[in-house]
Amino acid sequence: MTIGSRPIYRAVTGIAPPYVMYNNTSGTFYGYCIDLLNDIGSLAGFDYTIRKSFDEKYGDLDPKTGLWNGMIYELTSNMSDIAVGPIWITSSRAQVVDFAVPYQRPSGFTIMMLKKRRQAPFLRFLMILEIDVWIGFAFAFLFTIFLLYSLERYSPFSYRNNRPKYRNEADDRFSSLKECFWFAFTSITPHGGGEMPKNLSGKIVAGTWWLFGFVMVAAYSANLAAYETLERLQRNIESMDDLRKQYRVRYSTVANSSAFKYFLAMTRMEEWFYTNWRRMALDENTPEANRSDYAVWDYPFEDKFTKMYLAMKDTGFVRSVEEAVKMVREANRTYEFAFIAEAITVKYLTLTNCDFRQIGQEFGKKPYAFAVQRDSPLRTKLNDAITKLAIERRLNALEKKWWDENPSRANCPADKDFNAGFDVDDLAVTFLLILLGISLAVLILCLRYCWYCYQLNRRIKKVGLYATTRFASRRK
């Protein structure tokens, strides 16, 4: 279609942030590829109309029917003139449509996982032991206090009941529950609780409490050290090989996606290699000299994609990217999930969200390009315009605009080094304990001072009333 001197071409696209996005308010498309198409149109001298693909797919060949879908089908059916978006150049697509020169460096697939963060719960010192252990410790603590007080009060051999015997060893610490509390409390600290009670029963109770406290403190210290170093000792997954060689982290991809088809194709390729190796090694028609070279004990190739495909099949293929993101977010100490997808999908998710990280390098790379109908003269216009934009560094400017300076880019804090020492967040509760102790001491001091002033005023009033009464009685 031509209006005036500028032709108008029919463009079709699919949503793929940040290359192609859609503004529901204005009803317009925007993104890297839309800016690039506008620049191409200005240089080549054409306008365009654009819409979404009918099935919102880029284009795949059905091996059973031999028919294409998505934007590739619309080009072959003369429903569109140009397909816009991050479209991979593949040999099968190149047989039915023409591609312009790539506008960006090759891209492939990659892995996304939840970003590891050092967990620093505010009351982490209470999480070292289970709640039933803390309850048992509190019960033993209170029972020891009550037992020390009871033995001091009712034992005929205690200091309280034998003051003349211990005249030179005055020790009235166990005569009240308050003093018994401080003895039991300080016994589990490095300072110690001081001397034992005078009676034998009390000594046995105190010694048993000391032994119990020693074991509890040792167990707490050991668990604290293990709790703090557990994440450091775990081996992080940093590549596809790391992911393949472990069984702790489950992983998968979206069913019927490009990543799914890539792993399926690589699995079939590995199966083809293995079948041909067996045939060459066992075929009687193969010359004996060659067969002896082929007949090695172990298969010389590693079927890594087959193992990964079977692992993903066992996990189950997810239905959408949103479902995969949800599964990645649900990671905890006993469950982790890795999402394998197109690199542009993973990069945009990590760009706009601080909770995710990209694992390892990309694999299965292929270049991106716009597609046009077979033998279309539009291809030459696109090639000339893209080449000129590349020379003028316009493509670099677009990449910087939509990746480095993207308005949706999340402002993420710097990642902490897992091998670094403790920071303020890790030890915040320790400083809080000091502040709490100081605050409690000041509060008790104020309350006791007020109580002391109240008692003093009462005594002064009583003395004043008594003196007034005596003076009045004398005058009579």
Angstrom distance (rounded) from CA 41 to CA 19: 17
pLDDT at 179: 77
Q: For 3-19, what is each residue's pLDDT tens digit?
A: 557 899 999 999 999 99
The confidence score (pLDDT) of residue 214 equals 83
Question: Between 123 and 399, where is the model more confident?
Answer: 399
pLDDT (0 to 100) of residue 343: 93
pLDDT of residue 145 exceeding 80 = yes
**What is the structure's pLDDT at 160?**
64
> How many Cβ atoms are within 10 Å of 136's Cβ, its own excluded?
13
Q: What is the pLDDT of residue 433?
A: 73
Q: Which residues are annotated as a binding site for L-glutamate?
A: 86, 93, 258, 342
Q: How far is the CA of 26 from the CAs of 34, 197, 357, 416, in angstroms?
A: 15, 85, 33, 41
List, for residues 206-258, the tens digit of each pLDDT value. 788 888 888 888 888 887 777 766 656 566 788 888 898 888 899 999 998 99
Q: What pLDDT does 302 receive?
A: 76
pLDDT of residue 322: 92
pLDDT tens per residue across span 73-116:
999 999 999 999 999 999 899 999 999 999 988 999 999 999 87
- Answer yes or no: is pLDDT of 418 > 60: no
Q: What is the percentage of the chain residues whose pLDDT exceeds 90?
A: 41
pLDDT of residue 339: 95
Per-residue confidence (pLDDT) for residue 266, from 0 to 100: 92
Per-residue pLDDT, 166: 61
pLDDT band at 369 (very low <50, low <70, confident <90, very high): very high
Most confident of 196-205, 279-288, 291-300: 196-205
Mean pLDDT, the chain, rounded, equals: 83
The pLDDT score that the predictor gives to residue 171 is: 59
Q: What is the pLDDT of residue 417?
A: 58
Question: Annotated binding site, which residues?
Answer: 86, 93, 258, 342
